[in-house]
Every structure is written in C-alpha cells, then in structure tokens.
Amino acid sequence: MNASATQKVMLITGGGRGIGAATATLAASQGYAVVINYQSQQGPAQRVADAINAAGGHAVCVQADVSNEAGVMALFAAVDAQFGRIDVLVNNAGVVDKTARVQDMTEARLLRMFTTNTISAFLCCREAVKRMSTALGKGGGAIINVSSAASRLGSANQYVDYAASKGAMDVLTHGLAQEVAAQGIRVNAVRPGLIDTDIHASGGLPNRVNDLAASVPMGRGGSAEEVAQAIVWLASEQASYTTMSMVEVSGGR
C-alpha cells in the first residue's frame, strides 16, 4: 500500500526487534507510515513490516548502521527518496555489552557503546531537525530518544559505560528540546527499566528480567509494548505541550 501525501512518517532506528518493533507496530496501527531501520537482522525487520502491510498499513525496512555518519546519511536519503518527509524520529537503536567493571573496559568496547548509543542519536537528530524545522520551512515534528533507567541508576558492576551513554542521551534531549522548541519540534525521552527483549541475552544475561523482577517496585519486568505506548504518545498531538521530558517506563524502579 502506498503512503498518502498527508500520512505522517515515523523513522525508528533499530525497529526490527524489541522496543523498536513494538513501536513500529503500534504507530502503524495509529496511521503512521513507518520506516523500520535495522543493522544486520533483516528477517525480523521484514516480518514486522510484512505484518503491518498485511494489516493495511505502510512500512518499509531500511538497512543502515546508525553508529556511523555514512550509515545515517544513507538512512535519511532512503527516507527522502521514499517519502519526502519525516514527522517523527525515534532514536531507539542501542546495545549493551557483557558485565564488566570500568577498570576493565577496553577502548574498543567504549567506542562501540558511545557510537551506537549516543553519536547515532546526535547524527539522526541533526538530520531530522533539518527536515522538520519550521525555521527552515518544514512542518515541525517530534523526536523521542530511547534512553534507560540506567542513566539514573549508574549500573555499577554491570555496565557503567551503557548507563553513561544513556546519560548523554538525556542531556541531548534536555538541550536539543530547548534549541528547537520554537521551531515546531518537540524532543522527549523515555527511560525504560527492565524490559523483556533480546538485549539482555546479547549482554550475556538472558534471564536478567526474571532474575531482577523482584527488585522492581511493581514486581515484574515490562513489555516492549508498554514502552511503545509511551513513545507513540510522546509522538502524538496529545503530547503537544510536552517537550524536554523524561518519561519513566520502569515499574517504579
């Protein structure tokens, strides 16, 4: 199905799995055309897009590594070519690493962490602002950064590098929100807590959500769909006076 000229377009980095996939599915059900970016796992991303399109929505998949500028430029060029507009950017692509103390962290680990989780978000914000800013004759828009409760907690003895990469994302949200508030762009963040996705296994802790559930005041981990609800609300007109906000989606943790 083709996107109409008036249909809003949402770009979700890392949209093929987990929180990104849930966001794509929910946003499409609410009428957005969605661009599902993935890095290497085409199969899950294509399945999300196929399900959306089969349900009468509009989704496309775009492979790009957003941890480097060339990947980000290629991704936005694809959005330009296919839609000619972008209304919502969700900076969701992110990684964790194996449990380690700061004293043992290598430069390679830190570079991967900060380029994937933080520099990607800066570069995508840069390209999105150019395409959204009313000061540049564009139609405005919304940016949602997927941070983490780790930025509050610090993640000692597990991954302080990850927590710091998300802390930088919080400050990006805080500063950019003020920079572009008068240009029709709202910038907010969600800070998920323990959410049941593949990311924990990629960090060597596949049972992390169950193992830590009792430490969450609500007594359970969250779902990707619960985070998606907050992201899609922040994107919507219902959040029209909400900018520079950090929405905790963490069960009280």
* Residue 58 structure tokens: 């509009």
* 119: Cα separation from own chain's centroid: 13
Q: 32, 38, 159, 162: which is the annotated catalytic residue?
A: 162
Residue of 11, 79, 199, 247 interacting with ligand NAP (CB under 6 A): 199
Residue of 195, 228, 232, 239 interacting with ligand NAP (CB under 6 A): 195
The answer to the question of residue 8 lying near ligand NAP (CB under 6 A) is no
Dihedral sign computed on CA atoms, order 241, 243, 245, 250: positive
The answer to the question of residue 25 lying near ligand NAP (CB under 6 A) is no
The answer to the question of residue 146 lying near ligand NAP (CB under 6 A) is yes
CB atoms within 10 A of CB 158: 20
The answer to the question of residue 194 lying near ligand NAP (CB under 6 A) is yes
**Inter-helix orientation angle 18-29/42-54, to 10°:** 20
Q: Which candidate, 65, 73, 170, 55, places its Cα nearest to that of 130?
A: 73
Which H helix or E strand runs over 23?
A: helix 18-29
207 CB contacts (<8 Å, ≥6 apart)?
Answer: 200
Q: Which stretch binds ligand NAP (CB under 6 A): 18-26, 48-56, 77-85, 151-159?
A: 18-26
The answer to the question of residue 167 lying near ligand NAP (CB under 6 A) is no
* The dihedral formed by the CA atoms of 136, 142, 143 and 144, expressed in degrees to the nearest 10: 180
**Cβ proximity to ligand NAP, 66 vs 125, nearer residue:** 66
Angle at 121 between CA 116 and CA 126, to 5 degrees: 135
The answer to the question of residue 176 lying near ligand NAP (CB under 6 A) is no
Residue of 3, 9, 10, 18 interacting with ligand NAP (CB under 6 A): 18
CB atoms within 10 A of CB 137: 6
**Cβ proximity to ligand NAP, 19 vs 86, nearer residue:** 19
Residue of 198, 210, 211, 218 interacting with ligand NAP (CB under 6 A): 198
The answer to the question of residue 207 lying near ligand NAP (CB under 6 A) is no
**Cβ proximity to ligand NAP, 13 vs 173, nearer residue:** 13
Query: Burial of 7 by CB count in 10 Å (0-12 exposed, 13-18 middle, 19+ buried)?
Result: middle
Asked about 32 being catalytic, the answer comes back as no
The answer to the question of residue 19 lying near ligand NAP (CB under 6 A) is yes
CB 232 to ligand NAP: min, Å: 15
State which of positions 28-67 bind ligand NAP (CB under 6 A): 37-41, 44, 65-67
Is the separation of the CB atoms in 145 and 121 below 8 Å?
yes
Interface residue list for ligand NAP (CB under 6 A) = 13-14, 16-20, 37-41, 44, 65-67, 92-95, 116, 146, 148, 192, 194-195, 197-199, 202
Residues annotated as catalytic (active site), given as ranges: 162
